Amino acid sequence: MVMAALAATSSSAQEFRKIATVETPNWINAVSVCGSSGLATGLAEDGSIYVWRLPTGEAVSNHVVGKDVKAFSCSHDGKWLALGMNDGFVDITDIAGKPVRRIAIGRAAIADVTYSPDSSLLGVRLTGAPAQLWDPNSGTQVGAMKTDFGGSTAMDFSSDSSLFATSDGDTAIRIYDRGGKLKATYTRMLLEPFGISFLPGGTQLVVGGADSMLTIVDGSDGHMVRQFAKLADPVIRIIPLPDGNSLISIHIDGVTLKKQSTLLWDIRTGGRREISMDAPDVVGYANTPDGKSLLFTADSKSSMTIWTFSK
């Protein structure tokens, strides 16, 4: 799992602390936190959705959605779930699983779905295709992104929901307004990007991928703010922390494509420190309104652990 304590890269001590271990009947593949609602949802390998109360992990409900669900996202108001299906549809349900509407996105499997922080937009990625923006309340398309070739590999909304960014297979980073209009493009990545995340409270975003580097880009005009030193392994996920000065990067072994390593960064100095983990599967994270970061790790088929990161 994660670690007991960590000496930080900044002047004040920082650590991960276990909040709760949650018993789970099946392996949890992914966790989506429902914003400030106090709820978290998990997708299990048997096709069930579990709802827990934070921070205790108290069980609220569970229901079966089926193994055709490939991706899911909980709205930040805690009312709705978006389920990305293998047949190219997104099903919108209430938090208890009652169907609301079905949206036809395309003919390929849904690779990822994510609600905007204000719950008014839905970012959707089809396998091998550029991302799209949809209105989940009406089921209408807001915008269809474009690439020179290939699809989008990751996507994220800014914290105020005004910007939507994609990392794309043609190695470009593209930033759009909430209506899907292209605002800026960053094209200086040499290899395919795999992860992208906005930093809290602004327009800057962090990108990482096959080049094994972290790059900070300003989403307002697409210029590079900073690039950190090249690492040994590709970056597959980036987790900004609430203070705006720290982030976690998760890496995959470039040879085996299995082993993960996790680093804690100080953005101001570029300093980094490896986080020791007994179980490599980080299945979800969230920044809470009270300034904490929650990390969820799948430990086994019977348990999941909730961690918090704080100064």
* Domain span holding position 249: 147-282
Number of domains in the chain: 2
Flag whether 234 is in a domain. yes
Flag whether 311 is in a domain. no
Verify that 33 and 140 share a domain, yes or no: yes
Given a cut of 80, whether residue 71 has pLDDT beyond it is yes
User: Residue 3's pLDDT is what?
Assistant: 30
Strand partners, 61: 51
pLDDT classification of 280: cutoffs 50, 70, 90: low
Given a cut of 50, whether residue 259 has pLDDT beyond it is yes
Given a cut of 60, whether residue 286 has pLDDT beyond it is yes
Flag whether 5 is in a domain. no
User: Residue 93's pLDDT is what?
Assistant: 97
Flag whether 243 is in a domain. yes
Verify that 137 and 171 share a domain, yes or no: no
Flag whether 252 is in a domain. yes
Verify that 227 and 265 share a domain, yes or no: yes
User: Residue 13's pLDDT is what?
Assistant: 39
Q: What distance in Å separates the CA atoms of residue 87 and residue 70, rounded to the nearest whole number? A: 10
- This prediction has a pTM of 0.90
Verify that 31 and 158 share a domain, yes or no: no
The whole-number average pLDDT for the span 275-295 is 76
Verify that 258 and 225 share a domain, yes or no: yes
> Given 93, 115, 144, which residue is the final one in a domain?
144
User: Residue 257's pLDDT is what?
Assistant: 66
Verify that 64 and 176 share a domain, yes or no: no
User: Residue 8's pLDDT is what?
Assistant: 35
Verify that 135 and 54 share a domain, yes or no: yes
Verify that 135 and 247 share a domain, yes or no: no
pLDDT classification of 6: cutoffs 50, 70, 90: very low
Verify that 120 and 160 share a domain, yes or no: no
Verify that 160 and 34 share a domain, yes or no: no
Verify that 131 and 58 share a domain, yes or no: yes
For residue range 125-156, list pLDDT tens digits in order: 999 999 999 999 999 999 999 999 999 999 99
Given a cut of 90, whether residue 253 has pLDDT beyond it is no
Given a cut of 90, whether residue 287 has pLDDT beyond it is no
Spatial strand order of the sheet with 293-300 comes to 15-23, 303-310, 293-300, 282-287
For residue range 228-249, list pLDDT tens digits in order: 989 989 999 999 988 889 999 9
pLDDT classification of 300: cutoffs 50, 70, 90: confident
User: Residue 36's pLDDT is what?
Assistant: 86
> Given 144, 171, 194, which residue is the final one in a domain?
144
What's 276's domain CATH number?
A: 2.130.10.10
Q: Which position has the higher pLDDT, 293 or 276? A: 293
Given a cut of 70, whether residue 5 has pLDDT beyond it is no
Verify that 104 and 183 share a domain, yes or no: no
Given a cut of 60, whether residue 4 has pLDDT beyond it is no
